[in-house]
Structure 1
Amino acid sequence: MKAPLAAVTMVFNEETFLPVWLRHYGDQIGPENCFVLDHGSTDGSTRPPSVQGASVVRIPRSPQDDTLRCGFVSDFCASLLSWYDAVIYTDVDELLVPDPAVHGSLLAYAAGVGEGDVVTALGFDVVQVPDLEPALDWTGRLALQRDWIRFSSAMCKPVLIRRRVAWAPGFHCIDAGPAFSDLFLFHLRYADLASGLARLHRTRNQAWVTPEAGSHQRMPDGQWEGMLRGMAGLPGRTDITLLPDDPVLAYWRDQVLDSASIRLDALYRIDLHLSGDALWRLPDRFRDRF
């Protein structure tokens, strides 16, 4: 009999985000079912006791190559399906939360996913409003410290698999269109200005496979801060429920599905540049979930 659910991420020197990822998924499915693919970390974040009982697979450090990375992760997650009913892959700054109005836990959600299915999360950037919100305490409940999220099609990722898939670079798409339900992805890259700039310093200075690769992770500090503050300056809405009958959520979800209908043979099966025109206040039922 297989175990119900595994969670996988891949890291290099993620001393801020990895403890958050391990706490979130370890609490949900047990640390023994969490797998960290360590791409040559040197900061101690992937060594005991920091890894909190998770399994660590160490691979040699090499220049960042998203095509190579996705191929390796696709094969690794497929291999885990020999031992698990379902496997989650997310980047280390991405937290999955099934709708608390329907599901008591991530394990309960995964138990309802059909054999051979792949679930695409509804994706959001968690956005700090720097003029109103202080720096994050990464050891505490993040959703109690941040009020605002922004819809992002780039974060609508196929994240929970019950069959082998081949992720495209960036893990945004697979060789099939999106299949949404009530699973949400909260992306933390923009949740804290200071931490975001610190991470940008590392990614800007690490080796990349080509001079063009990873341009969004190598931009100047001022450009990145301006992007975050631009998001923070969007109008805020407090009427969004994130329930299935929410017309605003349905509008953006349908925009993604419509974009998929004309990309049937493309590497990226959805338009990755659909971003909400407002910040939405995070509904209270999510506040104790991450």
Structure 2
Amino acid sequence: MSSRSPLAIVTMTYNEGDLVSVWRRHYAAQVGDARCYVIDHGSTDGSVSDLGDVNVVRIPRSPQDDKMRGGFLSCFCASLLCWYDAVVYVDIDELLVADPARYNSLLSYAASVERDGIRTAIGFDVIHPSSEEPTMDWSRPVSEQRRWLRFSSAMCKPVLIRQPVSWAPGFHCIDAPPRFDNLYLFHLRYADRDAGLARLARTRTQPWKRHDAGMHQRMADDRWDAMLSGMAGLERRDDIVLGENDPALREWLARVMESAKSRTEELYKIDLHLSGDALWRLPDRFVGTF
């Protein structure tokens, strides 16, 4: 039996407002405050000032540099494996859920992963049809207010590690092929129109290491709004169950795995531009889990 703690959860933040509290509520319920680690990159909005027993690691503010972030967090998470059996890294707007039909928590899920294993989450953007659903109340579970998902290969991220890894910039890939099973990632970037535009106003004006970096976080409001409207207007399906027996999900995961075959020597091991052609209704068993 391991003398180490079972699981640590790590993120990084800079002036992310309500999302910090949402992240803490979700992951502290899984592992407790003391096993959550927030790397604060110079926040000035007060969002990390009252996080209880969450470990807040403060680093100096600097221009956004995803390559440096990836290197730092690869080393940081590897170091935590001295003290934990498994470590999860997720961005502040990413909520992980192990299939509730199989697991009662991320702790029980992590315990099922083999020694030295890694796991890739099955990734979805949570979509806000703003003409139908009200503005998000961040004090309540997201899944009780948003029910439409879009599959995204860019959100199919290697998030749980039981051995040191090196994440590529953006944390989309490591130096290994994806390994899927029963872990799901729900990305909140498009879960609320107003919050999304407010975040865009910040990321558009913050310093960046390279002038051509992060262009998707620096686009004009009208372009971002049109993109969200386009996603919200996709065909809708309410017959999706997720899990191993869902043919629609199997088809999209097969596309991701097929794309990996030609990318074994590349930094990004999968095609990051495979996006669902329909919105899928969140299955009832996930409601209330994030």
TM-score, length basis structure 2: 0.99
**Residue 230, structure 1, aligned to residue 249, structure 2:** no
Q: Secondary structure of 1:4's partner?
A: strand
Aligned-residue Cα RMSD (Å) equals 0.5
Structure 1 residue 147, shift from structure 2 partner: 1.2
Identity %: 60
Question: What residue in structure 2 maps to residue 2 of structure 1?
Answer: 4
Q: Secondary structure of 1:61's partner?
A: coil
**Residue 108, structure 1, aligned to residue 108, structure 2:** yes
Question: What residue in structure 2 maps to residue 11 of structure 1?
Answer: 13
Structure 1 residue 53, shift from structure 2 partner: 1.9
Structure 1 residue 15, shift from structure 2 partner: 1.1
Q: Which amino acid aligns with 1:223?
A: R
Question: What residue in structure 1 maps to residue 282 of structure 2?
Answer: 282
Question: What residue in structure 2 maps to residue 66 of structure 1?
Answer: 66
Unaligned runs of 5+ residues in structure 2 are none
Q: Which amino acid aligns with 1:135?
A: T
Alpha-carbon distance in structure 2 between the residues aligned to 1:272 and 1:122:
13
Alpha-carbon distance in structure 1 between the residues aligned to 2:79 and 2:73:
10
Q: Give CA deviations for 1:205-246 in whole Å, capped at 9, x if unaligned.
A: 100001101100000000001000100000100000002111
Alpha-carbon distance in structure 1 between the residues aligned to 2:243 and 2:266:
30
Q: Secondary structure of 1:37's partner?
A: strand
Question: What residue in structure 2 maps to residue 265 of structure 1?
Answer: 265
Q: Secondary structure of 2:73's partner?
A: helix
Question: 1:99-248 alignment to 2 at 5 Å?
Answer: 99-248=99-248
Q: Which runs of 4+ in 1 moved over 3 A?
A: none
Q: Secondary structure of 2:210's partner?
A: coil
Alpha-carbon distance in structure 2 between the residues aligned to 1:139 and 1:90:
20
**Residue 46, structure 1, aligned to residue 48, structure 2:** yes
Alpha-carbon distance in structure 1 between the residues aligned to 2:138 and 2:190:
13
Q: Which amino acid aligns with 2:16?
A: E
* Contact 1:65–1:209 under 8 Å retained in 2: yes
Alpha-carbon distance in structure 1 between the residues aligned to 2:157 and 2:142:
21
Alpha-carbon distance in structure 1 between the residues aligned to 2:204 and 2:27:
28
Alpha-carbon distance in structure 2 between the residues aligned to 1:142 and 1:155:
18
Q: Secondary structure of 1:191's partner?
A: coil
Q: Which amino acid aligns with 1:41?
A: S
Structure 1 residue 46, shift from structure 2 partner: 1.2
* Contact 1:22–1:52 under 8 Å retained in 2: no
Q: Which amino acid aligns with 2:218?
A: R
* Contact 1:99–1:183 under 8 Å retained in 2: yes
Q: Which amino acid aligns with 1:114?
A: E
Alpha-carbon distance in structure 2 between the residues aligned to 1:75 and 1:40:
20
Structure 1 residue 203, shift from structure 2 partner: 0.3
Structure 1 residue 52, shift from structure 2 partner: 3.1
Q: Secondary structure of 2:273's partner?
A: coil
Alpha-carbon distance in structure 2 between the residues aligned to 1:206 and 1:23:
27
Q: Secondary structure of 1:181's partner?
A: coil
Q: Secondary structure of 2:149's partner?
A: strand
Structure 1 residue 91, shift from structure 2 partner: 0.2
Q: Which amino acid aligns with 2:48?
A: T
